[in-house]
Structure 1
Amino acid sequence: MRLSPSIAVIAATALVAAATAAAAPASQLADAAGDAGAGRHSLEPFTASYEAWYDGKPAGTATMRLVRGDAASRWRVDLGIRGERGFAGVMGLNLEQSTVFDEANGIYRPLSQSTVRKAAIVFNRKVTGTYDWHANTAQWTGDIKKERRAPVPIRYGDMSGLLINLAVVRDAEPGRELDYRFVDGGRVRDYAYRVSDQTEAVTVSELSYEAMRVERTNGGNDETIFWIADGVPTPVRILQREDGEDAIDLRLIEYQGLQ
């Protein structure tokens, strides 16, 4: 099961310590806020459960969770997929990712990131990353290609894949164009999205939503589509398509706020 970094799937059971955050100059924060300035959602803790599909077939379950950290402005977002059916079930695939971040002035600023991929006894791979806002670099260690281990320059407004998921929910408005810079796993990419002009009906299990369709416009043959419903703190559906065919498909079946 190959996952697009834009979906940024799967949550970590072990996190690296969060980097000490330096306060950003007001001018830099204002420039980086960009799309965040018109956001519709403030952060609130939640947990959400998804059906996970692969190649158009049920493959397992997924959970997204946003929890408060150990400081007033600090948070952690987790997303995990568990393979339970089909090939994913046979292989015992478990994919987990987490990002620790802080939020100020409309900016989601990553501090640390961790990814764990497991498949029964076949492999167990872990990658951890730290975003150093004093040096303005990010670096990943662990089971990662050599060329992705070097420090990567970062700037205010850069986000991990999981944070882009949250930002799309925050920023989506009918007809709007959204631009983000993805810095995750030793890679840097520009992500551009277009929000549909009208909502459309999205039904999963017994739940039905009127949702905005948000499509990535610069992904080439790898498409990523979110469906965002007003008042729901997480995408109601996340679909990755490869060469015109459905690949990873997460469909929301339940969510609730947390204290």
Structure 2
Amino acid sequence: MKSHLPLLLAVLIGAALPGSALALEPFVANYQVFNSGKALGDATMQVKPEGGHWRIDLNIHAERGMMGLAGAAAQQSTLFETAGEGYRPLSQTMVRKVLFSKRTINGVYDWNKRSAQWSGDVKEHRRKPIPLADGDMSGLLINLAVVRDAQPGKTLNYRFVDSGRARPHQYLVAQELEGVKVDDMSFNAMRVNRVQSGNEETSIWVVDGVPTPVRILQRENGQDTYDLRLVEYKGVNE
């Protein structure tokens, strides 16, 4: 069975800000994860201060199905700092566990040398240094920026530099709000679609005043694959 957990890590958008630009604050958000419409497991996103900087963590655990039997889990963390209204990555760690297998990838963003580089269980061609430019972000930080920047009808452009890769990311925010139901709650949400080629689609629903997306949907070949639905979120005292 093909695992999409690494792609899901790059897609998941959490610990973000409301539609208007507010100061970054720590909190925890919990999601229920579905795969092709069936409950798969849970995901937790957390943003918190650490050593004068900030850290965003994403943990996914598959509890059901073949991936659950295999004990599949994935964790990703990015240490970052705020630069004006932007987020600047400093280091990154990704860990994947399946049965008795464990893979770890580490990245360092050196802004003095304007270079980023990854080590560990990463393909050889992705070990080469990548030149950094102002505004470059990891996948998790782009996710923060998307929710912060979303405005009806707006186009969002970022540069993804993550796990030995660099590429542009573009998102389009729908002109009109649409209804989204999560458990017993209903929201009028902004739908944000990532513009990308190929057979993959990503949609994120953002609600002003809610500090994390209420739903994140990934599709392939026109069919739903991963679907994350917000269960709860709460602020965390520093």
After TM superposition, is the score higher than 0.5? yes
**What is residue 41 of structure 2 aligned with on the other side?**
60
How far is 1:208 from its partner?
Answer: 2.2
Counterpart mapping for 1:117-156 below 5 A? 117-121=96-100, 123-156=101-134
Work out the CA distance in 2 between the residues paired with 1:196 and 1:171: 13
Aligned partner of 2:74 in structure 1 is 95
Q: 2:93–2:106: 8 Å Cα contact kept in structure 1?
A: yes
SS of 1:197's equivalent?
Answer: coil
Where does residue 116 of structure 1 map in the other structure?
95
Which residue of structure 1 lines up, in the alignment, with residue 4 of structure 2?
A: 2
Runs of 4+ more than 6 Å apart: none
Per the TM alignment, residue 130 of structure 1 is displaced from its structure 2 partner at its CA by 0.3
Q: TM-score, normalised by structure 1?
A: 0.84
Contact 1:6-1:161 at 8 Å conserved across structures: no
- Taking the aligned partners of 1:158 and 1:171, their CA distance within structure 2 comes to 16
Q: State how many pairs are aligned.
A: 229
Q: What do you get for the CA RMSD once the two structures are aligned?
A: 1.6
CA distance in 2, matches of 1:157, 1:181: 7
**1:145-170 alpha-carbon deviations (Å, 9 max, x no partner):** 10101111111101111001111110
CA drift of 1:120 comes to 2.0
The CA distance in 1 between the partners of 2:186 and 2:231, in whole Å, is: 10
* Contact 2:33-2:39 within 8 A present in 1 as well: yes
> Which string of whole-angstrom CA distances, capped at 9 and with x for unpartnered residues, describes residues 188-232 of structure 1?
111111001111111122232211000011243111111101011
Q: How far apart are 1:6 and its partner, in Å?
A: 7.2
**3-state SS in 1 of match to 2:175:** strand
Tell me how far apart the structure 1 counterparts of residues 199 and 41 of structure 2 sit (CA, whole Å). 25
Q: Contact 2:20–2:208 (CA<8 Å) still a contact in 1?
A: no
Partner of 2:26: 45
- The 1:177/1:9 distance shift into structure 2, 3 A limit, reads closer
Structure 2 unpaired stretches of 5+ = 13-18
Residue aligning to 2:56: 77
The letter of the residue matching 2:79 is V
Aligned 8 A contact 1:7 1:165 in 2? no
Q: SS state of the match for residue 65, structure 1?
A: strand
Distance in 2, matches of 1:9 and 1:61, equals: 15
Identical counterparts, % of pairs: 52
Change (3 A) 1:45 1:200: same
Instruction: After TM superposition, list the pairs within 5 Å mapping 1:220-235 onto structure 2.
Output: 220-235=198-213
- Assess, with a 3 A threshold, how the Cα gap between structure 1 residues 9 and 78 changes in structure 2: closer, same or farther: farther
Distance 1:92 1:204 in 2: 27
| Unmatched 5+ stretches in structure 1 | 11-37
**How far apart, CA to CA, are the structure 2 residues paired with 1:4 and 1:80?**
12
Cα displacement string for residues 117-149 of structure 1 (whole angstroms, at most 9, x for unaligned residues): 00122x100000000001111001001110101
- Which of 242, 245, 254 aligns to 2:220? It is 242
**Inter-partner Cα distance in structure 1 for 2:164 and 2:204:** 24
Alignment-mate amino acid for residue 217 of structure 1:
V
Cα distance in 2 between the residues matched to 1:39 and 1:104: 18
Q: 1:116 to 1:54 in 2, by over 3 A?
A: same
- Aligned partners of 2:173 and 2:190 also within 8 Å: yes
| Residue among 174, 184, 190 paired with 2:168 | 190
Provide the C-alpha distance between the structure 2 equivalents of 1:193 and 1:9, rounded to a whole number of angstroms.
12
- Counterpart CA distance in 2 for 1:49 and 1:219 is 30
The answer to whether structure 1 residue 207 and structure 2 residue 209 are counterparts is: no
Q: Which residue of 1 aligns with 2:16?
A: none
